[in-house]
Structures are given as structure tokens and as C-alpha cells.
Amino acid sequence: MSSWTARRLAWLVGIVSIVLLVASITFMFIDRRARLPTNVGAWSATDVFDMLVSVVVPILGIVIVNKQPRNAIGWLFISAGLAIALATFGQVYAVHALIVEPGSLPAGRAMAWMSNVLWPFPLTALVLLFLLFPTGHVVSPHWRPVAWLTWAIYLLLTVAAVVFATAEWADPFEDIEAAARAGGTFAQTAILIGALALPVVLLLSVVSLAIRFRRSTGDERLQLKWFVSAAAVTAVTFSVGFFIDSRVVGVVTSLALLGLNVAIGIAMVKHNLYDIDVILNKAIAYGALAVIFTAVYVLVVVVIGAVIGVTEGLSLVATAIVAVAFQPIRRRAQHFANRLVYGERATPYEVLSRFSEQVGETYSGEDILVRMVRLLAEGTGASSAGVWLRVGDEFRPVAMWPTSGSPPSVPVISDRIPTFEDATTSVPVKHRGELLGMLTVVKPPNEPLTPVEQTLVNDLAGQAALLLANSVLIEDLRASRQRLVAAQDEERRRLERNLHDGAQQQLVALGVQLGLAQRQALRDAPDMAETLERLQVQTTDALENLRDLARGVYPPLLADQGLAAAIEAQSRRLTVPVRVESDGIGRYPQEVETAVYFCTLEALQNAAK
């Protein structure tokens, strides 16, 4: 079955169910003063409340199938709603045709038979709802036997219901004891087995729901939070209701079912279960329009007509008012619906106004970009939005909303607009014809970008050009500063290598030669030996000074063993006691270690003065 056919079928069955339930309430109202058997529904607050709760079932089915035609939950609601509607309508129809006004309507006994046969399915649907919610599948394959057992119980109860309904054909509203005798041993045994087994599978389905909740994360956990509690209460009240026939238990059961529907509604509206926000948004907007225009028509035609005593021509006046006011009222209704459904979704005008105000205030470049991308997400209702800056041969994310996480850079392919993962739209930001960056917006698949929202993204891209141009300049300045620092560090290392490999090695060789000359002079010229010894000491001092100079330029120990070893070596040369606590610090990029080392060295030298 195609999605289009599934949606049309859901609408057809759902509307039929709602019409039957409304007709049932109408029959109950018509027969409200009739004397009825105690085992049939009557015009009372409890029974009417049950009817109203039942109307919600096909409505939920229509909504879910329209968003996810292949989800079993939607069809479960559709079929359960139809079964409830047929059973309810069949009973009130038969009551009117057989008791209130006998013979006034045809097929009264057939309708009563249908009503008595259909009651097992809503109970079965409740168990399956707990097993399958919200994905339409059991939480794991181990729970499939519970679903099979539920269907087996349904078939057993349905067969028993058919036997009972057929045996009661002549008197569909006889008391339970008489019906049990008429049904025979098989039907009685089947009902007993079903009455004992159904609460068991109902409680097992709640256990599976609790397991699903424990394993869930993120949105699914929020969607299940209220539903699990409502399901537990509903399962307990239904299990008690199998064995205790009490009006109090019936009222509590009805309230539990209402709570179950409310929990599903909270999951759908607040936590976006089945992506229902689009339908809800449009329903609120058009519902508000209908209420406003109906009120205008009533005010002009009825109220003003009653005051002035003339109604001719007032319908045309009301129509003219509606025609003139339609567009501004529609915008306000849509704005109201956006606020109600999406929260802080701003209109394009609000977004541009707020952005202009914030640009005029004092913010850092990064901060204003974050504010801009947040406004972009609020104005389009996007799940995420981003600003990308072109740096060299790639686009880098410089501002994202929400701020959690950062996507990887995207390579530049000539001057073509790159493909951004999951982006609904990506708009280039250009300044004087130069491509500076991109704005990206990600929206849910079920909510495409509207022309108004696309225009908003384009307008923000135009206003963001100057900001990104400044960001490019700042990025160039940062890169230039890093190149200068890197060049200085490289020059330090080059100078250190030259000193180590050049003058330092020459002084070492000179010291060795002076030592040899001193030992030879001790034998041949004792007076010369003392002079050579002084020269050797001076050479050694010069070598140490040169080594200190080389270490000050760039210490080899820093490159070989890291920050802790290099700072400890320098601290031992100070005149004040120094204790270095490195706490197992590891290695960092060379430029980071160099900056930290020289800052620390400067601080130590200042402390020693």
C-alpha cells in the first residue's frame, strides 16, 4: 500500500469512527429518560466521559498515520478506534431499536450481536500498544512471544464472544449469569482462561515498556517518561477491573485511559514524537483564523444586526472585513502558532531587527557570529545552523548553534559551493565578489524551508558579509602572528645549533689543546704551565657562558625531554631555591612548549632579582 493510499484510508476509517461515536452520544441523549438494563450504557457523566475519551483514539490514529504511514502504532489506534466506535454504536442502536422504541429501527439484534463480538479487540490493542510504543516494534526479539500470546488470547476471547453473542441473539441484554449458561462450557472456559491470561500479558507489556525506557536515550527517553507512568496505572486498573465490577473502578479506568492519551499528547507535542509539530502548527494557525473570522461574522451580522434592526447587506460587510483583514490576521495567527509550538521562533523581521541591534553593540567577532547563528536558527525553526569561514583551501566552522560539538572542515573545490552534510540549505557569503564563507541551516526532513525562511537566510548572508570580512582579516592577522612566532622560534633553534656546532665545539677543542700544552709545559717550562692553566680556566668559563647563552636562545633539553626537564635544569642555576611540580605533564606542540618555557623562565628570573 502506498503512503498516499494509507493516509486516505486512515482519514476515511478515522472519520467514520468519530461519526459513529458522535452518533452514539446522540442516541444516548435521545434515550436519556428511558428505563434501561443495568448492563448497558446510559446518559450519565461517566458514560459520556468514556465516549469523549474514545473520540481521542481515532484522532491520534489519523495524526500518526499521516506522519508515519508504516508505523504500527498509528494503525493500532485506527483499528482500535473503529472497534470501539462500532461496539458502542451497535449497543446504543440496539437499545433504541429493541428496548426504547421496539421495531423503530431495522437490524437491532444484528447490531447488538456486533457490539457483543467486538469487545476483545480494544483490550488486545492496549497490550500491543504497550509492547510496541513508540517505534512500532517490540523492544527486542525476546518479546515477540508475548505479542503472539496476546493475539492467541484475542482469538480465544473472540471465539467465546461469538458463541455468547449468538446464544444471546434473542435477548442481547440478558444478565451475565444467563448469558454464561447460554454460552455453554466451552465459552465459559475460554472466557475464564482469557480473563486470567489477559492481565498477565498486560503486566508483561508494561515490563517491556519499562525495559525500553531504561535502554532509551535522548528524545526517546523524554517521549517515554510520562507514558510509562500512565501505562503502569492503566495496566493496574484494567487488571483490577477484570475481577471487580465496580463503578469506582470504571471511573478510575477511564481516568487512566485519559492520562494515557495525555501522555501520548505530551510526547507528540513537547518532545516531537512522530514529528507532529508541523501538523499542530498548521492546525493552531488555521483554527485561530477560523475562530477569529467566525467571531467577526457573528459580531457584524448577528450583534450589530440585532442592535440596528437591519441584517440586509451585513453579510457583505463581514465578508469585506474578512477579505481586507485576512493577510495581517493570518500572519499574526501563524506567529502565535509558531510561538506556541516552537517557542522562541522569531519572525524574519524580528531576526533582522535584533541582528542589526547587536551588530551596533560592542561584541567580539566570535561572539557576534554566535549570536547571529542563534538568531538564524530561531528565525527558521532549524534544528541547527552554522557559519563557515573560508580559510585557505577549506571552510572552517566558526560559529554553530547549538554550540555542542563542531563539525569537520569542508574542502574548497575551486569556487563552487561545497556540499555540507545534512544541510537543508547553504548560502554563500560574499564581499565585493569574493567568497568569504557560508551559512548553513539544517531542518527536519518533514519541515522544508519555506520561501520566507529562505529569504531570511539570504538577507542574513548579505548582512554577514562585513562580519566575515572582518573575521577573515582577524584570521589573517592570527596566522601572520603565528608565522612570526614560528619564524622567531626557528631562528632561535638555528642560532642554538650554530653556537653548538660552531663556536662551542671550537672552544671545546681549544680547551683540550690547552690542557695538552699545560701537561707538556710542566715537563719542559714550569713557568709557562701556570699561564696555560689560567688560559684553560678562562676557556672553560667562556664555554660555559656560551652554553648558557645557547640554552637561553633555545634549550635542546626542551626539544628532547619537554617542559618539566627544561625548567628543572634552569631552576638549579638560580640563587633562590625552586621546586618544580610537573604533575606528570606530557608533551605539547612545539610552539606551546616554547611559549610556556620562556614565560616561566622570565618569571623565575624576576623572582630571583
Arithmetic mean of pLDDT, 25-40: 75
- Worst-scoring range by mean pLDDT, 138-147, 174-183, 476-485? 174-183
Per-residue model confidence (pLDDT) at position 330: 73
Per-residue model confidence (pLDDT) at position 312: 66
Residue 370 CA to residue 211 CA, distance in Å, equals 40
Residue 586: pLDDT over 50: yes
- Measuring CA to CA, how many Å separate 449 from each of 159, 407, 446, 452? 53, 22, 10, 8
- Measuring CA to CA, how many Å separate 4 from each of 16, 68, 322, 545? 19, 11, 34, 88
Residue 325 CA to residue 331 CA, distance in Å, equals 10
> Bridge-partner residues for 159, per DSSP?
none
Banded pLDDT at 86 (limits 50, 70, 90): very high
Per-residue model confidence (pLDDT) at position 16: 92
Per-residue model confidence (pLDDT) at position 356: 61
- The pLDDT mean for the chain works out to 75
Per-residue model confidence (pLDDT) at position 179: 58
Residue 138 · residue 78 · CB < 8 Å:
no
> Bridge-partner residues for 395, per DSSP?
390, 410
Of all residues in the chain, what percent carry a pLDDT higher than 90?
Answer: 3
Q: How many CB atoms lie within 10 A of CB 249?
A: 16
Report the helix count and the strand count for the chain, using DSSP H and E.
Answer: 20, 5
List of residues 6+ apart from 18 with CB closer than 8 A: 55, 58, 59, 81, 85
> Bridge-partner residues for 435, per DSSP?
430
Residue 94 · residue 180 · CB < 8 Å:
no
pLDDT in tens, 257-308: 777 777 777 666 555 555 545 555 565 666 666 677 677 766 766 667 666 7
Residue 503 CA to residue 471 CA, distance in Å, equals 47
Q: Where do we find the cell 628532547?
A: 560
Residue 362: pLDDT over 50: no
Arithmetic mean of pLDDT, 574-602: 78
> Bridge-partner residues for 401, per DSSP?
385
H helix or E strand, kind and range, residue 270: none
Per-residue model confidence (pLDDT) at position 590: 74
Arithmetic mean of pLDDT, 3-13: 86
Residue 25 · residue 51 · CB < 8 Å:
yes
H helix or E strand, kind and range, residue 564: helix 563-571
> Cell for 193?
482462561
Per-residue model confidence (pLDDT) at position 82: 92
Banded pLDDT at 479 (limits 50, 70, 90): confident
Return the CATH class of domain 348-479: alpha beta
Helix (H/G/I), strand (E/B), else coil: 344:
coil
pLDDT in tens, 316-355: 777 777 677 767 777 777 666 665 555 555 555 556 556 6
Nearest by Cα to 75 from 15, 136, 118, 4:
136
List of residues 6+ apart from 222 with CB closer than 8 A: 267, 270, 271
H helical segments located in 502-555: 503-524, 526-553
Structure letter (DSSP) for residue 395: E
For helices 247-269 and 45-67, what crossing angle results, to 10°? Answer: 30
DSSP-assigned letters across all residues of 378-392: HHHT-SEEEEEEEET
- For the chain, the residue count is 609
Residue 467 CA to residue 461 CA, distance in Å, equals 10
Per-residue model confidence (pLDDT) at position 436: 81
Per-residue model confidence (pLDDT) at position 502: 58
Residue 76: pLDDT over 60: yes
pLDDT in tens, 405-421: 677 888 877 666 777 87
pLDDT in tens, 420-467: 877 888 888 887 778 888 888 888 776 677 777 788 888 888 877 777
pLDDT in tens, 528-580: 766 666 676 767 766 666 666 555 556 767 777 777 887 787 777 777 788 88
Residue 148: pLDDT over 90: yes
At residue 396, φ and ψ (nearest 5 deg) are -110, 140
Residue 377 CA to residue 9 CA, distance in Å, equals 36
Q: How many CB atoms lie within 10 A of CB 310?
A: 10
Q: Which of 154-158, 372-376, 474-478 has the highest mean pLDDT?
A: 154-158
Residue 102: pLDDT over 60: yes
